[in-house]
Chains A and B, each alone.
Chain A
Amino acid sequence: MSAEPAIRVILVEDQALFRSLLSDLVRAEPGFELVAAAAGIAEARALAADAEADVVLLDIELPDGNGFQFGRELRRARPGLGVVLLSSHDLMELLLALPDRERAGWSYLSKVSSTSRETLLRALRVSARGASMLDPELLGRLRPRRGSALAGLTPRQLHALRLLAEGLSNAAIARDMGISNHSVDNLLNAVYSTLGVRDDGDLNSRVAAALHLVRDGAPGGAGA
């Protein structure tokens, strides 16, 4: 029985210290392979041309352009590539700029939240398999906007939606909330219904629900 193939990662980060730390982290982790590390878009574009990769870990504010735009460029050439965005700020609304068909596989992490090694590796895994994960601490700060569909969720539904947006599977949400898988299904169906997201069992319905949280959640609340 052969082992799972390693997740191949391209890293684009302009700050040398961060780049070095992130490179070491990915290299040291079993099941991951760092195939390229670049300080900017031009360098990354050249390196990525020859490198097969499953996911790109991408800083948004780069000296020679916008990392988000570069991520889209990479995705156009490689539709299966996962993208994990990194930023010093809450710029999660960037993901709202993606057309529906491109939304799968994008994750977002803050450099300055309590993002841990585990969170980062989880985001790389989640994005590599085409799912999405948003920064748990930033999600915790979001408060439903008055008048939005998000404000119609109960606290439990909102909590389940936050966990979903963190990239957790239904089983993991069930464990976190101490309820059965069936209850999670019911809870998320109620969330989809309130938000007007069609539950077609597709990965995109989870992504769409998570993006509702970004669109109608105002940042700046107390951390969860």
Chain B
Amino acid sequence: MSPRARSAAPTASTPTVASSALEARDRADDRRVLLFTAGVLLTAFAIGSTLQTIFIYRPERVATSELIAEAPQLPDRLMTNLVTVAIALLLAAFVRLEERRPLAAAGAVLAIALPVALARHGLQLLLGIYVAPELDVSLVEVCSVAVVIAVALGLALAQVRTRVRLREHERAEAEHRLRASTALAELAAEEMRVRREVADGLHGTLQGRLVLSQAAIDAIQRRGVEEGWSEAALAQLAGLRRDLERMREHDVRELSNLLYPVGVDVSLAHAIRALVRRVPAEIDITAEVDPEADLALDRGDDAVAQRIAVVRGIEEGITNALRHGAATTIRVMVGVSDVDGAGAPRVRATVEDDGVGLPDSPRWNGLARTSERLGLRGGRVELAPSSLGGARLEVEVAAPVRS
């Protein structure tokens, strides 16, 4: 009869070294719990029953002097009971009780309890605790001890089973969370890769072609001037060149930036500087980025996506300060907030402005998108009045824990 191999989710693949080690650790842990629980129960019973036998359950009231006279029996009785406990525990460990199926375990419990109870009674006879007892006395003694051992082992087994169920449930939950998180990370990485590729294509290939087209138009313009083309034709060419320039400098750049903010692959601070520089000169805007915040988002597979989330949040704050708040002064501050209980720093960005303040009914559709985007990354966004007189947008994301 071989012990049942415990495996919550047997797989067709060969178990890895790590999973084998984990299973071995689980088995050792289960055995410890079984032996500890059964040991505590049986030892408590052993001590209690010894004291009860001598001092409490007496057929008649006895004098203190008689109790003292019987006290020398105490060590023998206690030793007998403790030896019984040790034998029961040794047998339970030997047959790997905790690894057996319920029916087999029940059989094993009985197979342990009866012989151990018999052995105990034999020991009692040997030590003279009982001298030629009657059969019914021996039967009561053996049966009651067998029941106690069976109950103690049964309770210990129940404790082990409960722990195993809890552990398997927790592991299944953790695996589920890990799978979901891995799938999300892979999806995010793929999205980043595609965004980057498209942005690079816009920046590089398309931009390059537009530049060459502009150069070609320049050459045609020069030829036109030399050959005396009409003013209208030259003006048309100049207009076409302006359109290309606007498309290249503004449209393509904005599109590329929407996909992948400028400088976000370099650092958070750089992406924010690039963002702030684009704000018209008439706006008094400053950005202060704590190097610690830059450092918090400088590594890890998710770093660029985290930076993008922060930059988008700041962009939302600036856009709304200008569009809805008519602000003339904007202050951007980025730092690392208090470390939370898990030891992970949180990068916090605030955008404050001196505009008209919070709208009566929020029309910031972008805010909902920003909130959703940040929520997926364990972050948040909050809109509140600013000490500058306008609105204060606060954006926060959890940074990866640094080893």
Contact = CB atoms under 8 A, between A and B. Distances in A.
Interface in A85-125: 88-89, 91, 93-94, 96-97, 111-112
Given A61-B200, A219-B277, A146 B208 contact: no
A201 interface: no
B190 to A, nearest CB: 18
A93 B270 contact: yes
A221 B267 CA distance: 27
Interface residues of A, number: 30
A192 interface: no
A159 interface: no
B211 A146 contact: no
A79 interface: no
A94 B203 contact: no
A15 B211 CA distance: 12
Size category, B interface: 20 to 34
Interface string B279-291: 1111111100000
A148 B263 CA distance: 23
B4 to A, nearest CB: 55
Interface stretch (A1-9, A27-35, A62-70, A177-185): A62-70
A51 interface: no
Nearest to A92: B277
B220 to A, nearest CB: 18
A145 B274 contact: no
Contact of B284 (A63, A97, A143, A147): A147
B254 to A, nearest CB: 11
A82 interface: no
A106 to B, nearest CB: 14
Contacts of A97: 263, 266-267, 269-270, 273
A203 interface: no
Nearest to B215: A112
Nearest to A68: B266
A94 B211 contact: no
Interface string A180-224: 000000000000000000000000000000000001011111000
A94 B269 CA distance: 10
22 contacts: A61-B200, A61-B203, A61-B204, A63-B204, A66-B265, A68-B266, A69-B265, A89-B253, A91-B262, A91-B263, A93-B270, A96-B273, A97-B266, A97-B273, A111-B211, A112-B214, A146-B328, A147-B329, A217-B281, A218-B279, A220-B280, A220-B281
Interface of B: 200, 203-204, 207-208, 211-212, 214, 248-249, 253, 262-263, 265-267, 269-270, 273-274, 277-286, 328-329
